[in-house]
Amino acid sequence: MFISLEGIEGSGKTSQIKTIADYLAASGYECVVTREPGATAIGRKIRSILLDPASERMDSTTELLLYMADRVQHVREIIVPALSDGKMVLCDRFYDATVVYQGIARGIGIHTVYSLHKLLLDGIQPDITFLLDLPPEEGLARAWKQIENGSRTGNESRFERETLRFHERVRAGYLKLAHEEPDRFRIIDAMKNPETVQKAIIKILAALLD
């Protein structure tokens, strides 16, 4: 099973993914925890270019192609081999992030993103996607707090520096996708405390795995 977590900056995906992995391991599933961008050695180099605040002059199409390049390497090197071995794959962001950040918020268009994904990766999709939803004001405040207290590096803050309006488009884009694909998406209220969020995700997963 291929599971992804999505959400705006500061939605808490990265800490939730660890708890989900622990739950899956305790339930006897072999699980690969991974992320985009930057899960492979090549991807880590791409990640540093993409998230570096000094990359402020990056063209939107360059940005799109770098995310796609990271994903091609990731899918072929990690995701497909793990799924073929019967492992669970738990991924912190995947294709939906490109649809929303580049396709919608940057204005490239979702059809361009979809066509490239179909062409390069045969349109591979997660089986289930948890969308951790919260208002961008709150998400950005949390993300900046993590940068200021050192738990997240300021060297990767190019998107946190985008306008509130940009992050509002990202949130609206995610919610639109979730409403269009209700069978795959589960919307989780990320304003709740981390334990409540964790319980909500695990309850859904337990029902699916039953």
Residues that bind ligand TMP in the complex, under the rule CB under 6 A: 9, 35-37, 51, 67, 93, 97-98, 101-102, 159
| Closest separation in Å from C-beta 4 to ligand TMP | 10
For residue 6, the 8-state DSSP code is E
CB of 38 to ligand TMP, least distance (A): 7
End-to-end Cα spacing for the chain? 13
Q: Which is nearer to ligand TMP, 154 or 206 (CB)?
A: 154
Taking phi first (over 0 means left), then psi (-120 to 50 degrees means alpha), and beta for anything else, what does residue 155 get?
alpha
Q: How far is the CB of 45 from ligand TMP (least distance, A)?
A: 15
Q: Which amino acid is at 77?
A: E
Please say whether the dihedral angle defined by the alpha carbons of residues 142, 143, 144 and 147, taken in this order, is positive or negative.
positive
List of E strands, 98-175 = 128-133
> For ligand TMP, which is the closer residue by CB, 40 or 102?
102
Smaller CB separation from ligand TMP, 27 or 155? 155
Measured CA to CA, the distance from residue 66 to residue 45 in angstroms comes to 10
* Residue 99 or 205 with smaller CB distance to ligand TMP: 99
Smallest distance, ligand TMP to C-beta of residue 142, A? 12
If the CB atoms of residues 35 and 169 are measured against ligand TMP, the closer one turns out to be 35
Q: Give whole-number Cα distances, 140 to 11, 17, 102, in Å.
A: 9, 19, 19
Instruction: In angstroms, give the least distance from the CB of 36 to ligand TMP.
Output: 4
Q: Which helix (H) or strand (E) holds 178?
A: helix 164-180
What does DSSP assign to residue 186? E
